[in-house]
Structure formats: C-alpha cells, structure tokens
C-alpha cells in the first residue's frame, strides 16, 4: 500500500542513513483491509443505467490496457448478468502519461447513504508536529483499492465501457463515500501508532529524534501488517522538513 517513502523538500536538508529495505519487503502489491464494505442506498431510489460513452479511437488501446491490468489485479471484474445500476466509465490522464480509471456515478452518488467521517484539517495535523525534528512522508498507493466491496455493492458499481460491462471489487474512485471510508480505515490504523498523522493517502511519521522516528515508523509497519495491508518494496529515509499536503513542516 505504501508507494513512496521519499520526501519532497523546499530547501537542502540532511538525510539520515536509510532504514533497512528488508523491513519493507513484506509490503508489496495492493493491500486489503479485513472485511468487505457494504454500500447502502436509498431503498426507494429509481435505478439509472448509462450507456457506454464513446472513447476516442487513438486512446482505446491504452484504456483497454489499464482495464485489463485492473482485472488482473482483481480490482474489477466482467459483469455478464443484468444489474439495476450502470454508471459511465471516466478516465483522466496522469502526469506520467498513463490513465487513471474511475467511475462517473453521478446518479448513484445521489442515493448513497453516506457514512460521514470527519477529515482532519491541515492545522490540526501540523499541531501534532510540535517538538518533532525528524519526519517521513508516506504515500499510499491505490489506497481505495485496499477496501474490498461485498457482492451487492460490487454490482452497484457496474459501469459500461467500450469493451463491455465491468464491476468494481474494490472501493473505486468517484464514489461520494470513498474518501470518508478510506480515512476511517486509516484512522483505525493510526490509533495504535504514536507520532503519526494522516489525511487521505498522505501519512506523516515523526519524532523528536532519529531513534524515536525510526521506532514510530517500524511500529506503523507492524500495525499495518497486522491489518493485512501491503505495499510495493521500498527503502525509507527521513528528513528535517517535509512537504505535507502542500504545507512545509
């Protein structure tokens, strides 16, 4: 789940010795929180079925490649049986040239019963940094995909593509509830982790000393493992200042 433990900085700073990479060997691929999430919708809502949107011919092969990769990762699956709800496929191009696949569930979002979970403000997060001298910033890779959907919810997320209907087996981008659900899961992890803070997929680990920072980072990884999360293999380092949600701390 943790994609990158490197840090962006606004000035030259000292970098401490990297933590042993073997500490992170176990965190590869897409993570998976325990249990399946069930999407609740208004029982009197009228289902809406959207036809497949036209996809420009010159990018169809690239979109198909992304969809095939998501099927391979067990994030989405082909849907053959009739479903009441069908959304449209949406996609945006990433800075690296690849495409981010998501839903356009505008009608479904109107009838989803949202489980509101409070998102902390940047001011509340930075207040926790008081007294800290050493930081690491972790970026969750495909964080939403760490949350599995149960079968009824998967059918609710069915979407039309130029290559047939597909449904999400993991929490998709585009749902009005996705950020709340993911933040709630992250907060559950950090309850047992000292000197950590999170907003969405940005996680900061910090300490007054390098030793304290390293202890807190290792504890976070231990707790993440106990909750069946995983990550791509990476090394970790820490710095004196980090860019966290566009704010330097």
Q: Which residues contact 105 (CB under 8 A, 6 or more apart)?
A: 87, 157, 159, 174, 175
Query: What pLDDT is stored for residue 20 in this prediction?
Result: 46
Q: What's the domain range around 100? A: 2-248
Per-residue pLDDT tens over the stretch 168-199: 999 998 899 998 998 888 888 888 788 888 77
| Contact between residue 195 and residue 205 where contact means Cβ atoms under 8 Å apart | yes
Query: What pLDDT is stored for residue 245 in this prediction?
Result: 42
Query: What pLDDT is stored for residue 120 in this prediction?
Result: 77
Count the domains in the chain.
1
Q: For residue 98, give the CATH number of its domain.
A: 3.10.10.10
Query: What pLDDT is stored for residue 138 in this prediction?
Result: 76
Query: What pLDDT is stored for residue 229 in this prediction?
Result: 58
Query: What pLDDT is stored for residue 235 in this prediction?
Result: 35
Mapped onto helix, strand or coil, the DSSP state of residue 161 is: strand
| Strand bridging mode 202-207 / 196-199 | antiparallel
CB-CB neighbours of 216 under 10 Å: 20
Task: Give the chain's residues under pLDDT 50.
Answer: 1-26, 231-237, 240-249
> How many angstroms separate the CA atoms of 149 and 31, rounded?
14
113 is written with which tokens? 């019963």
> How many angstroms separate the CA atoms of 186 and 118, rounded?
12
Model confidence pTM above 0.95: no
Q: Which residues contact 36 (CB under 8 A, 6 or more apart)?
A: 148, 149, 150, 153
62 is written with which tokens? 């690239």
Query: What pLDDT is stored for residue 230 in this prediction?
Result: 52
> How many angstroms separate the CA atoms of 213 and 93, rounded?
36
């Amino acid at each position: 789940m943790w994609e990158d433990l490197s840090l962006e900085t606004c000035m030259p700073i000292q970098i401490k010795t990297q933590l042993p990479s073997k500490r992170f060997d176990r965190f590869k691929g897409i993570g998976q929180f325990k249990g399946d999430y069930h999407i609740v919708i208004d029982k009197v809502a009228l289902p809406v079925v959207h036809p497949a949107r036209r996809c420009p011919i010159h990018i169809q092969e690239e979109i198909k490649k992304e969809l095939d990769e998501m099927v391979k990762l067990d994030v989405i699956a082909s849907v053959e049986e009739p479903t009441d709800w069908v959304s449209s496929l949406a996609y945006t191009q990433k800075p690296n040239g690849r495409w981010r696949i998501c839903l356009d569930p505008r009608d479904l979002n109107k009838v989803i019963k949202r489980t509101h979970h409070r998102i902390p403000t940047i001011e509340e997060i930075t207040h926790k940094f008081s007294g800290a001298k050493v930081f690491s910033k972790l970026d969750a890779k495909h964080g939403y995909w760490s949350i599995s959907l149960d079968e009824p919810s998967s059918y609710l997320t069915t979407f039309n593509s130029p290559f047939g209907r597909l449904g999400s087996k993991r929490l998709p981008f585009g749902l009005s509830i996705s950020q709340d659900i993911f933040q709630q899961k992250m907060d559950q992890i950090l309850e047992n982790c000292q000197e950590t803070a999170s907003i969405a997929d940005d996680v900061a680990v910090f300490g007054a000393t390098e030793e304290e920072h390293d202890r807190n980072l290792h504890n976070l990884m231990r707790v993440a493992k106990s909750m069946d999360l995983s990550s791509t293999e990476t090394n970790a380092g820490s710095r004196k200042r980090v860019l966290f949600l566009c704010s330097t701390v």
